[in-house]
Amino acid sequence: MSLEEYFSLVFSDYTLRTITLGTAVLGAICGMLGSFAVLRKQSLLGDAISHAALPGIAIAFLISGAKNSNTLLIGALISGLIGTFWIRGIVKKTHLKSDTALGLILSLFFGFGMLLLTFIQKMPNANQAGLDKYLFGQAATLVESDVWLMCIITGISLIVLLTFWKEFKILLFDIDYTKSLGFNTRFLDILITSFIVVAIVIGLQTVGVVLMSAMLLAPAAAARQWTNSLGTMIFLAAIFGAFSGVLGTAVSASSNNLSTGPVIVLIAAAFVVLSFIFSPGRGLLFREIRYWKNRNDLQLHKTLAFMFNIAKNHEDISHPHAVKILNNFQGYTKRSLKKLENREYITVSGSMWSLTKKGYKKATNLYNQQEETDD
């Protein structure tokens, strides 16, 4: 299937439509909630939670003996939550830093989960095959009820987000101050963390344990580059996430052998790279351009200031002076003279230059500014 075929089929083909919708909604909720993880600098949290979910999946399978995805996800949810609260407990009760606690829980739970998976694979049970799809995800197994579940959870978290908007915002910016105002930050923290756990769990089937945290972080990190408003950032992150989901599904559907989860994550990562280079305020490219522009401006201003010092000693500020006077001045080049002329700060005729009214005014302003900053 080519990309065109995909887009012509996506509305009519049931399976394709289900998968596309699922990955889009998943991308949106991950982007939305991932913004919190990014702004709280908890980038390892998603990783720890998703890895902590793995043993839950295996245990749920062992207990129920069936591969019903909802049962397995409940197992994932429980062990994900246990992992999260252990992390909180470790940080609170011991000397360990939160990074260490996260890493510890991550490897402990993941190792245990892998052990169980190996054990299950050796069991004489035809049912076991395919449990490892939770490692890297398999979007093709999404069914309509999965998508409904995703939509409902996204809807609930959106409502909670809007209800506690002001509380979340202040918590993200300044948790101590939030406490001092009498807000229960523990409640807010648990609320937001629980939603992150839920989002991760519903994404496991599609993206898998290993890449899930990238799905959470990438759209948010990309969105941060484009805006200075929290609301816009969360909105953009949801959009980027949804786009990654749709594009990833399209690309993997049109080239049969690529699995969807990794493609979605790669596209989300591409959003990050493009954003870090091309975003106007914070992007590398524009920063570089601004740097060079500032440098050039500074050079011109230096030359102009030098001319101003010569010109101000004459009654007529536009009295012509020889270009030769400038020779001692390092900032002066033929090009900068030309540029000053283009900006109408000076006029040049033959080997003489003279300051214009506009140039005089500009130079005076420069001086005033300098005095202000020196102050």
What are the residues binding other proteins (CB under 8 A)? Answer: 39, 41, 94-95, 163-167, 169-170, 172-174, 176-177, 179-183, 224, 227-230, 232-233, 375
Residue in 49, 234, 296, 244 with CA at minimum distance from that of residue 139:
244
96 or 366: whose CB is closer to other proteins? 96
38 or 117: whose CB is closer to other proteins? 38
Q: Provide, rounded to whole angstroms, the least separation between the CB of residue 222 and other proteins.
A: 13
Q: Answer whether 355's CB lies under 8 Å from 346's CB.
A: yes
Residue in 159, 149, 156 with CA at minimum distance from that of residue 73:
149
* DSSP per-residue letters across 211-247: THHHHHHHHHHHHHTT-S-HHHHHHHHHHHHHHHHHH
Residue with tokens 């299937």: 1
6 or 240: whose CB is closer to other proteins? 240
Q: Answer whether 52's CB lies under 8 Å from 84's CB.
A: yes
Q: Provide, rounded to whole angstroms, the least separation between the CB of residue 235 and other proteins.
A: 12
Q: Provide, rounded to whole angstroms, the least separation between the CB of residue 81 and other proteins.
A: 24
CA dist., res. 221 & res. 331, Å (int)? 41
Q: Provide, rounded to whole angstroms, the least separation between the CB of residue 137 and other proteins.
A: 31
CA dist., res. 307 & res. 252, Å (int)? 64
Q: Provide, rounded to whole angstroms, the least separation between the CB of residue 178 and other proteins.
A: 8
Residue in 20, 25, 76 with CA at minimum distance from that of residue 51:
76
17 or 169: whose CB is closer to other proteins? 169
CA dist., res. 211 & res. 188, Å (int)? 27
161 or 355: whose CB is closer to other proteins? 161
Q: Provide, rounded to whole angstroms, the least separation between the CB of residue 163 and other proteins.
A: 6
